[in-house]
Amino acid sequence: MAELRYHNRAIPLPRSKVSRIALGSGLVTGGLLGFLPILGFWMLPLGLVVLSFDLPAARRGRRRMTVLVGRPVKKRWPASWRRHVTEANPHIRTHSAREDHGAS
């Protein structure tokens, strides 16, 4: 199941590819109309992130932006970056395998 992850939170997305594309397109359209009441410009980047799950062009743009923003952050705050990457990737283990299985 597709989900957006931000820090320790996961926001589920629709399972259907068509639904995700419709949701992302709606958010982008709402973001373009952000000058109107209720809608906001915050919808535009969120819509592009949702679209990046299914559209290769949006995925490439998201990855390029992540690298573009991440390099200076990593250079300036290496300890914070290391902690962020460890929290964002649960497959990276920070403790020994013996602690995982427990003592029998």
- In the chain, where are the structural domains located? 3-101
Cα-flanking dihedrals φ and ψ of residue 99, to 5°? -70, -30
Task: Please report, in tens digits, the pLDDT of each residue of the chain (104 residues total).
Answer: 678 877 778 888 888 889 999 999 999 999 898 888 878 888 888 898 899 888 888 889 888 888 888 888 888 888 777 766 655 554 444 444 444 555 44
* Distance, CA of 21 to CA of 25 (rounded, Å): 6
Whether the full predicted model's pTM is greater than 0.85, yes or no, is: no
